[in-house]
Amino acid sequence: MIDFRFPIVLSFYALLAVVWVIWIIRKQYNDLIWDETEPLLKENLFRRLDLNRWAWKHRLTFSGLILLIFAASGPQIGTRVAPVERKGIDLVFAIDVSESMNAQDVKPSRLEKAKFEISQMIDQLQGDRVGLIVFAGSSHLYLPLTSDYEAAQLFLDAIETKMIPSQGTDLSTALRTAISAFNEENEKYKVMVLVTDGEDHEGAAVELVAKASESGIIAHAVGVGTLKGSLIPINDKTGNSSYKRDKKGILITSKLNEAMLTELADAGGGIYSRFNNREAKYREIMQAIDSMEKRSIQTHIYSEFEDRYQSFAMVSLLLLIAGMVLPTRITKIELNLSLIHI
């Protein structure tokens, strides 16, 4: 791969092309005059001029100018890999994408509020790796651990409740996926943040978090919603808006299970916080993360272009010098030798 530090310099090739076209036109005009010149006059005028050397002199000069412009544009060819030391932790967000996260007791909705707060947290990361898990009735590793925060923001922005067909809220499967996302070699520096309304319909999440804590994983819990709860907006098959009902046709009210999430955070050695309609609730979790011991990692690398203008500049200089010093006049010795051969 090739890039240029000063690509505007390449525009000089257009000027060089104009000069070349003018030179071709003048050469054709001079050739016409040359054909009409008397042979004896041509012999006397150009007897001491080596036309072959004259042509090579111009070729060398022109080639030198081409390479000089290329060198001046600052070509950067290939990649240079260098180690980078960073200090941080591995942070995995497990985000609930069940239909209950569409409830609007937190504006604009539980899921959108969660995404906004998580985005603020990612913006403040420095050196940490971040991963994303989405879950409902099942869970999936949506974004493996990465230090590319721009990619993390893009993945986060695309999260919606339609991502997982299997509905429900199974915290246990989300926790298993989160635990498997970490590097097993490290006994600490691992944090998972469970973001949900706490309606666990399936498994025993608290027991799993306690087991994860024994392997060095700190688990924070974030509740999204209100204790009063809210109806769950849905779109029916015809596209009309309505609210979710149970099998008996009764409207379902989704309420924040704060007691269960508090118990989960206690078992995981973390803290419980709630994303509500107040601003900057993410700071409570960030303060807990920032207070942790950070490890130094030197295995990460970055790539950058390496300047390669030097070789092109050297070759262009040699060509220009050769074009300048190459003689076009035939010396007396060369002329006498040519007459002897004749």
Which domain CATH number covers 277?
Answer: 3.40.50.410
**Which of the two residues, 242 and 49, has the higher pLDDT score?**
242
Give the DSSP per-residue string, 69-107: HHHHT-EEEEEEEEE--EEE-EEEEEEE-SGGGG--SSS
Domain co-membership, 174 together with 279: yes
Output 33 or 287, whichever has higher pLDDT.
287
Residues 293 and 327 in one domain: no
Q: DSSP H helical segments within 98-165, as ranges?
A: 110-123, 149-157
Q: What six digits make up the tokens of 266? A: 């206690």
Are 136 and 264 part of one and the same domain? yes
| Position 184 confidence tier, pLDDT thresholds 50, 70, 90 | low
Which structural domain, as residue segments, surrounds residue 97?
A: 86-297
Question: What pLDDT is stored for residue 329 in this prediction?
Answer: 72
For 287-341, write each residue's pLDDT tens digit. 888 887 766 655 555 556 677 778 888 888 898 888 888 877 766 565 555 555 5
Give the list of residues 6+ apart from residue 273 with CB closer than 8 angstroms, or none: 220, 221, 222, 223, 281, 284, 285
Mean pLDDT over each residue of the chain, to the nearest integer: 82
- Of 142, 136, 267, the closest CA to residue 199 belongs to 136
Same domain, yes or no: 98 and 228 = yes
Residues 75 and 90 in one domain: no
Measure Cα distances from 53 to 49, 56, 58, 330 in Å. Answer: 9, 5, 9, 10
Average pLDDT of span 3-23: 86
Q: Rounded CA gap, 96 and 225, in Å?
A: 12
> In terms of domains, do 223 and 92 share one?
yes
Is 219 found in the same domain as 107? yes
Could you tell me if 55 and 173 lie in one domain? no
Q: What is the mean pLDDT of residues 14-38?
A: 80
pLDDT of 187 over the 70 cut: no
- Cβ 145 vs Cβ 181: under 8 Å: yes
Q: How many domains does the chain have?
A: 2
Q: What share of the chain is helix, strand, coil (3-state, %, to 5)?
A: 45, 25, 30
Global pTM exceeds 0.75? no
Confidence at residue 141, expressed as pLDDT on a 0 to 100 scale: 94
DSSP string for residues in 219-252 = EEEEEES-SS-EE-EEE-TTS-EEE-B-TTSPBP
Residues 267 and 320 in one domain: no
Residues 57 and 178 in one domain: no
Q: Is there a single domain that holds both residue 55 and residue 194?
A: no
Judged by average pLDDT, the poorest of 231-235, 271-275, 304-308, 319-323 is 304-308
- φ, ψ (nearest 5 deg) of residue 288: -65, -40
Same domain for 317 and 275, yes or no, is no
What is the mean pLDDT of the segment spanning 267-277?
89
